[in-house]
Amino acid sequence: MSAGSVAVVVTEEIGVPSWDLYELSIPCTVFGKPQPDLADPWYDLRLCGTGAGSEEGDGAAGGHGLSLRTRYGLDDLVGADTVVVPSVPDPCVEEGRPLPRELIEALRRAHDAGARMVSLCTGAFALAEAGLLDGRRATAHWMHTAQLAERYPKVHVDASVLYVDDGDVLTSAGLTAGLDLCLHLVRRDLGAHVANQLARRMVVPAHRPGGQAQFIELSVPAGDDEGLAPVLEWARANLDRPMTVADLARRAAMSPRTFYRRLQAVTGTTPLQWLLDQRLGRARSLLESTDLPIEKVGELSGLGTANNLRHHFLRHLGVSPGDYRRAFPGAPATGRGRTPV
């Protein structure tokens, strides 16, 4: 087992948004602070910027940004055992601004030299631009996975997981999922005991159950088809009742085929999947806002027994109802009966 060297890419050094410091600080905390009682030597960390050593770093940052100086440049990515891209500038994601060509070329050279390539959050856009995710399964923050999939169709984007380990290329979802991935790397490099002890010192779980599917907000269409709106509203208000697609079509005064086609055009999904999504959403709301028994949550959401509720949560959210409730505590001490509509 070996720690090795870790090169962390700093994609912006002047005017770095303060909110981007979180992803940058994760690999610095995990790999940069020596832990001689756990492993000696620890990782050799280097921060590699696009303008290392230049006088530009002395300039004051405007707005909410900061100025950073890095000792190493992009050429220093080559030769590192692990290269981490914590994030890329927001305009490169939201507006399609090109990433620096020298960065993309440096990432390719580092990969060709045998480096293990890692991205946190939107750093996946840099790896994808370099072609390192082509044909691979990858992830990013769930708010950006649709953009990642659209911009790089050769990438198999999975929005449901906290991180993806594809051997020599690893990607993570946003924010704290980056910490999950970095601890996973320590586990791979130095063993479970070291990773568990490090997680304990950081006061975080060594491994979180489930994936980021449990954090994704339910997709709600901007506006329902006028002919569908009343029946969809009725369905949302009566999720505890048994209902079929034929029942909904009849209430909408449509044939099942027409109802199927209209609902799919409006929501982008099938009637059965739409109904399941609503039931899961109701169950999630009940688990977050009440202390009702799991069996009652299943009944009120229309998902049936506690076992059936557990089955759907594990399959679609990757976590059990009990774990979900513990992750999102919000019920008052006496929350029974406070069931949101």
The secondary structure of 214-243 as a DSSP string is GTSPPP--SS--TTTHHHHHHHHHTTTS--
Same domain? 108 vs 166: yes
Same domain? 198 vs 151: yes
**What gap in Å lies between CA 57 and CA 224, rounded to an integer?**
51
Q: Do the strands 65-67 and 82-85 form a parallel or antiparallel pair, or are they unpaired?
A: unpaired
Same domain? 196 vs 249: no
- Decide if 316 is inside a domain: yes
Structural domains of the chain, count? 2
pLDDT of residue 332: 46
Same domain? 252 vs 323: yes
- Decide if 213 is inside a domain: no
- Decide if 36 is inside a domain: yes
DSSP state of 332: -
CA dihedral of 174, 175, 180, 183, whole degrees rounded to 10: 120
pLDDT of residue 229: 83
Residue after which a domain boundary falls, among 168, 202, 236: 202
- Decide if 208 is inside a domain: no
Same domain? 180 vs 248: no
pLDDT of residue 316: 83
pLDDT of residue 337: 43
CATH of the domain at 116: 3.40.50.880
Which ranges in the chain belong to alpha helices (H)? Answer: 21-32, 90-94, 101-112, 124-129, 145-151, 176-190, 192-201, 229-237, 245-251, 256-267, 271-289, 294-301, 306-316, 321-327
CATH of the domain at 238: 1.10.10.60
pLDDT of residue 160: 80
- Decide if 168 is inside a domain: yes
Same domain? 17 vs 115: yes
Same domain? 157 vs 27: yes
pLDDT of residue 147: 93
pLDDT of residue 221: 47
pLDDT of residue 214: 61
Which stretches of the chain score pLDDT less than 70?
1, 12-15, 51-65, 209-226, 268, 329-341
Same domain? 98 vs 234: no
- Count of other CB atoms within 10 angstroms of residue 315: 9
pLDDT of residue 213: 61
- Decide if 339 is inside a domain: no
Same domain? 238 vs 162: no
- Decide if 51 is inside a domain: yes
Same domain? 266 vs 183: no
- Decide if 315 is inside a domain: yes
Can you give the residue range of the structural domain that contains 283? 228-327
Same domain? 65 vs 150: yes
Q: Angle at Cα 263 formed by Cα 262 and Cα 268, nearest 5°? A: 110
Same domain? 165 vs 239: no
Mapped onto helix, strand or coil, the DSSP state of residue 113 is coil
